[in-house]
Amino acid sequence: MKEQPRQLASAPQPVAHTRALFRQTHLLAPLSLLCIALAGCTVGPDFARPDVPANADYSREKLTSTAKADIDTGGAAQRLIAGMDIPGQWWTLFRSPALNALVEEALRANPDVSAAQAALRQANELVYADQASLFPSVSGNVQKAREKVSGVTSGIPESPILTVSSASLSVSYAPDVFGGTRRQIESTSAQAEYERFQLEATYLTLTSNVVNTAVSLASIRDQVAATEEIIRIQSGQLDLLQAQRRLGAIGDTDVLTQQTALAQTRASLPPLQKQLAQTRNQLMAYLGRFPNQDRDERFNLASLHLPEELPLSLPSAIVGQRPDVRSAQAQLHQASANIGVAVANQLPQFSITGSVGSTVASGTKLFSAGSGVWSLAGSITQPIFDAGALEHRKRAAVAAYDESAARYRGTVIGAFQDVANALRALEADADALNQQVVAERSAQANLDLVQAQFKLGAVAYINLLTAQQTYQNTVLARVKAQASRYSDTTALFQALGGGWWNRTDVDPATKGRPDRFGLPSWNEIMPAKNKAAPADSARFN
């Protein structure tokens, strides 16, 4: 006869289950108190940003203003105002709605920005994951098993079928006695801070590239226009020479020489047009477009306003403003925290586990009287012999900190160098434009005079050709000098950090730092102790 399955025990009612579980969980109270009591000190160095030398500055001589050129486009004198803040949208100072629209499009669509934003989200999620290590891990387990026991081995004539039901709640916790977990969170938070400022660096680099590319387009377009004007002048002169030759006033040599000069000028136009097309393709890439998606946005230097008041941050502020310096600082912070992690790994590791539940046989309800079970266990693990592995890892962490400290100092020096270079370029290129304007006007006046004299036969053709070439060179040099002043202004804004702290599209409360789900911030996790940067390896023992 086929054996019928036994009736499964009915599940406990929700109210009865809750009461029984409440009776068992009182055993976890001592466990919680023990966990709190074991939370102790934090080993390793506390991080503080290295101070900038008090005598650090951008140059020996103070630059307060630049020269003024007697020209409407790009000729204004620029004044440097020490301590003046930088607007978050600094490119709007060029007063070009078309440029503003391109920068905003680039910030929305550029793939590098999307990648940097994703990297920051990833880093923040890893911080949240590490912060969870500060709290106990709780898991529940429900199990129902049916087993047929051999009657031969159990001494029972027939083989019984046993049904066992169990339910339990388990808690495990690793008390952060020496702060290794907190140092690990500090390290991961520093990595998130690094990604946060890598994102700002991406913003700054992208906006600077878009502005510089627009300036390059304007410069090339003006060079094309100037070259076309020179071609027009040379073509008119060629017509005059050909007319004189037909009258027998001059020979073929002068005509052929003028034709050669005209052809050479025309030959300089295709490279400019190629450069213009390639620069536009580069702009399309910055905007996240394909080359065929060019909407023919046009720029010329006359459409861009040269800012006349420029900020000059104090030397003591530059380390807090530059995204690359802040990224290097975050890496230094991470290296400092990793020393604490390495030191904590050399010390005893604590763990506590506990569980409460109920186990019953067939026919008995879970959490009924007498069915409760519980366990509580604690362990301490101390490395005794590892062939020096942990000590060498600590020394490696110290060496990594020394490396990061050297790289941080190099980044700070590079930041001062960038500002100094931008200031020097502002001064020199303003003087250069002033002289180029003078040279162009002199060349224009000389060309007009030589043309008039040549028509009267007072000078030879070689004088006219020289005057034409001189004027052509001065016009192109003047256009390039104009563009340099706009590029120098962009370089200064970039060297000073770009005003990311005034950006309106970043939450000023968080600045991208992890604070989700109400988890404690790093300042809340780490007590403010001796905030001194580690100086040498002896401090890490």
Percent of the chain with pLDDT over 90: 62
Express each pLDDT in 324-339 by its tens digit: 999 999 999 999 999 9
Residue 349: enclosing H or E segment and its boundaries? strand 349-361
In a domain, 108, yes or no: yes
Amino acid 241: pLDDT:
86
SS3 353: strand
Closest CA to 258 of 440, 467, 446: 467
Supply the DSSP symbol for 168.
E
- On the CB side of 47, CA atoms within 13 Å amount to 24
Amino acid 151: pLDDT:
65
Amino acid 240: pLDDT:
85
pLDDT at 6 over 90: no
State mean pLDDT over 28-57. 70
Mean pLDDT of the chain: 84
Least confident stretch, 240-254, 308-322, 361-375: 361-375
Single-letter amino acid code for the residue at 488: D
| Residue with more model confidence, 153 or 400 | 400
pLDDT at 541 over 60: no
In a domain, 530, yes or no: no
Q: How confident is the model at residue 152 (pLDDT cuts 50, 70, 90)?
A: low
- For residue 331, give the CATH number of its domain: 1.20.1600.10
CA 293-298-300 angle, 5° bins: 150
Express each pLDDT in 241-263 by its tens digit: 898 888 887 888 889 988 999 99
User: What is the biggest distance separating any 2 CA atoms in the chain, rounded to whole angstroms?
Assistant: 140
Amino acid 40: pLDDT:
54
Backbone dihedral angles phi then psi of residue 530, each to the nearest 5 degrees: -80, 100
Q: In sequence order, what DSSP letters do the residues of 312-341 get, joined into one string?
A: E--HHHHHHH-HHHHHHHHHHHHHHHHHHH
- Rounded Cα–Cα distance for residues 108 and 266 (Å): 40
In a domain, 357, yes or no: no
Express each pLDDT in 262-306 by its tens digit: 999 999 999 999 999 999 999 999 999 999 999 988 888 999 999
Least confident stretch, 42-46, 154-158, 229-233, 291-295: 154-158
Least confident stretch, 161-165, 409-413, 513-517: 513-517
Strand order in the sheet with 137-148: 137-148, 161-173, 349-361, 372-381
CA 363-364-367 angle, 5° bins: 160
Do 177 and 38 meet the contact criterion of CB atoms below 8 Å apart? yes
What pTM value is reported for the model? 0.81
- Rounded Cα–Cα distance for residues 512 and 121 (Å): 9
pLDDT at 109 over 50: yes
Single-letter amino acid code for the residue at 388: G
State mean pLDDT over 413-437. 96
Express each pLDDT in 372-382 by its tens digit: 888 999 999 99
| Residue partners of 517: CB distance under 8 A and separation at least 6 | 128
In a domain, 68, yes or no: yes
Residue 354: enclosing H or E segment and its boundaries? strand 349-361
pLDDT at 27 over 70: no
Backbone dihedral angles phi then psi of residue 91, each to the nearest 5 degrees: -65, -20
> Would you put residue 244 in left (φ > 0), alpha (ψ -120 to 50) or beta?
alpha
State mean pLDDT over 408-435. 96
Pairing verdict, β 79-82 and 309-312: parallel
pLDDT at 422 over 90: yes
- Token readout for 320 is 């807090």
| Residue partners of 509: CB distance under 8 A and separation at least 6 | none
Amino acid 248: pLDDT:
82
pLDDT at 476 over 50: yes
Least confident stretch, 71-80, 342-351, 368-377: 368-377
- Token readout for 252 is 């073929």
Q: What share of the chain is helix, strand, coil (3-state, %, to 5)?
A: 60, 10, 30
Supply the range of the domain harboring residue 217.
Answer: 44-136+175-348+388-509
In a domain, 29, yes or no: no
Helix/strand number for the chain, H first, E second? 13, 6
Amino acid 211: pLDDT:
97
SS3 417: helix
In a domain, 257, yes or no: yes
State mean pLDDT over 84-88. 93
Closest CA to 227 of 60, 472, 450, 478: 472
pLDDT at 496 over 80: yes
pLDDT at 233 over 50: yes
Amino acid 5: pLDDT:
37
State mean pLDDT over 115-139. 94
Extended strands (E) in 3-149 = 79-82, 137-148
- Rounded Cα–Cα distance for residues 366 and 12 (Å): 6
Do 484 and 429 meet the contact criterion of CB atoms below 8 Å apart? yes
In a domain, 237, yes or no: yes
Determine how many CB atoms are found less than 10 A away from the CB of residue 345: 19
Do 395 and 368 meet the contact criterion of CB atoms below 8 Å apart? no
pLDDT at 1 over 80: no
Closest CA to 356 of 31, 14, 27: 27
Closest CA to 378 of 356, 355, 357, 350: 350
Percent of the chain with pLDDT over 70: 84
Single-letter amino acid code for the residue at 514: P
Domain count along the chain: 1
In a domain, 295, yes or no: yes
SS3 170: strand
